[in-house]
Amino acid sequence: MMPLVRLILGAVLLAMGRRLYWFFLGTAGFFFGFDLARRVAPNLPHGTALIIAIVIGIAGAVIAIALQKFAIFAGGFLVGGYLAENALRYVFAANHLWLVFIIGGIIGAILMNYMFTFALIVLSSLMGAMLILQAAHYWHNAVSLPLVLLAALGIAIQYGFVKPGRSMFGKKS
């Protein structure tokens, strides 16, 4: 079930992360909560980890709506850290890269705070691409051609370079 969830949520983030920033932060909270629950308590039943993830995901979405400025900073930290830690876990085959998470989180928070739209598009595209590749069981290394291509497609879609009825060169077809 989780690969299908990763695929669907990844596709939504890839195409619409900028428009649905509350969904982006909720999804980030969901996967962060799920992965954290599985790492902290590896013997935790799958259903319990799922409930923890849903609660954290809903909290992320609610905070994004209610406390927008805080959510921008916190979401940037969470997503930046999650992406950095997940990417390097496969490069170094380590499970607990907290320093990498913190550094990635700080970079993500700074980007979200100072370049909100740009950072939202890039981070949601990267997270969407990562989730899609995880669903396809292709997430083997941090910088792979499929990751770069999927993220670039997400960035192009969210910036409006790819629209129905528009040719590749921006002219109506």
Is 173's pLDDT higher than 70? no
Is 169's pLDDT higher than 60? no
Is 48's pLDDT higher than 60? yes
Q: Which residue has the higher pLDDT, 155 or 73?
A: 155
**Is 166 part of any domain?**
no
Sign of CA dihedral 99, 70, 48, 11: negative
- Tokens of residue 19, six digits: 């428009």
Number of domains in the chain: 1
- The pTM of this model reads 0.73
Q: What is the mean pLDDT of residues 36-45?
A: 85
Sign of CA dihedral 3, 116, 165, 173: negative
**Is 164 part of any domain?**
no
**Is 170 part of any domain?**
no
**Is 165 part of any domain?**
no
**Domain housing 87:** 2-159
Q: Would you state the pLDDT for residue 168?
A: 42
**Is 112 part of any domain?**
yes
**Is 90 part of any domain?**
yes
Q: Which residue has the higher pLDDT, 65 or 142?
A: 65
**Is 167 part of any domain?**
no
Full 3-state SS string of the chain: CHHHHHHHHHHHHHHHCCCCHHHHHHHHHHHHHHHHHHHHCCCCCHHHHHHHHHHHHHHHHHHHHHCHHHHHHHHHHHHHHHHHHHHHHHHHCCCCCHHHHHHHHHHHHHHHHHCHHHHHHHHHHHHHHHHHHHHCCCCCCCCCHHHHHHHHHHHHHHHCCCCCCECCCCCEC
**Is 172 part of any domain?**
no
